[in-house]
Structure 1
């Protein structure tokens, strides 16, 4: 039985359609992340699951029970908000136990639950403090503790880390990951940060304009994107999109890339990755998608073991990041980003031989921007 099932949900605000026929299902214990740019409808969908926003049409089921028109209190969910939503006059202990008190849970059980989550989140020493005496990270732990004190069917996290600084966000992300692994709870999590989505999720729903464009594992949405939007949204630095012309035929497809000031580049498309749709695109403009890590510095010492198609390009920008180096090079109508190892010795303005891993490249229709191969 699915822990959460959403079927054909639509939500209108006046004449504006914010959710458009959204459907998805996750199993018990799964970590689903709703990701997308601001205004894509992910927070509206979260509020619809929580019962904070009534849907215009469609159906929502939690643990097999239809809850579409139930109040938030009837849905047996717990929510962690972006703003923490702590009661400033209450201590940490009071904030954590408040929901249990409202549900008339006996005092002994409330106290045991507070001690349990405080120990789990390592905030036992903060139980008698007020929210104003806590850091942002500590407040977020308290907000999580208030949700964890209960054992609902689903936990909802609405951009819980967006108010934290970069380092603390990374630390809290790790803590949430550990928490999910330890408890095996069902979580629906909203974020606009694709790094959070990739590192935390079992399943990612990429949203745009009120629709789910792709629902899949982090590996699927990263390596097998359904269109240019998903491919560009997931990954940092983002995927390179290079305009090319498809030539040849079955077993011998090639991509011709015209770069100003350089000879046309011909890249062979792997026969093992051909699709029937490619035949109808010969002679037409297509878009080649290459991630920065699909480039590699050519090393003569590797000889025949060096895989990929060789290109030579003049490097325009060199950006060392410590763990690796990002290179900018002209490719097609614009510039591409290549990620190489920290040992690469090249300066801006110099030419460098690179290998392109066409076995991991993706191809998009130049007009529809949908995945072609």
Structure 2
């Protein structure tokens, strides 16, 4: 029987990965996620597993490539500028179809920015931060408990689709403490045997080769079509979201991560003023939950309000999903500033003609 324990978000990430049978961790310290590496440095060697602090983020992601190529569960973690440095390696992992977990605890940007929480890596995560035609599943937890649960899910999704998977949280989720329950978990997925792994012949006539290089254009196009078919399957099967109070809403807010928790308080404030607000919370940022909008767009009165800790990156996907059928508004803070319920409520009044 599992019990709840009080843990910092970053440390809970490490424990969840260990319990998901992560065998190798490669990383480099950067605030606000350094505690992930510190936790793994303490725990992994005691379990006979690999912890290695690389000399750079570039080295770390290429170590992940090597370990993933042998078929073991492996991961890296970083924060915004570090993920930028890993972008080439992530594209290689996607191209070579190698499963792994990538954690991004987002800080303010651009550049070195600040160590305060932000959501300004949305484009980088969802639009392919590296080069080429690729996508990867991106999960956006709203609590430490959900982050723990999604990390275990992410490893399974990575193995099922032979793909890198990202779990992206803002710096607040990494640094805050909440009660967490580590549940005994058995996957309902039928995970394929890793017959592709470069781990010796193992009775095969030849060695397996891990590769993303196709010199013949015709062969690369075939590979790209194969990847696109896989991404289509991800969209069909792996899209996740929460709809909260959206039925016959006057206005539906769209928010993820910490910001979605703030928006739930706004719903309570609005109710006291006679306004019925709803919330669509994407749990997967990619695939984006288009269905949540097709289900609500006819009945929502004033449209949608995208609330973000960025300058309006997710609002583009909201507009694409709504397809011009209702107005889409935006309210955001950036640089590490956190939206406050009273300020969001002010925007709500402005949209609904009560300001």
**TM class, shorter-chain normalised?**
0.3 to 0.5
Higher strand share: 1
Q: Which has the higher contact order (CA 8 A, sep 6+)?
A: 2
What TM-score do the two structures reach when normalised by structure 1? 0.33
What TM-score do the two structures reach when normalised by structure 2? 0.34
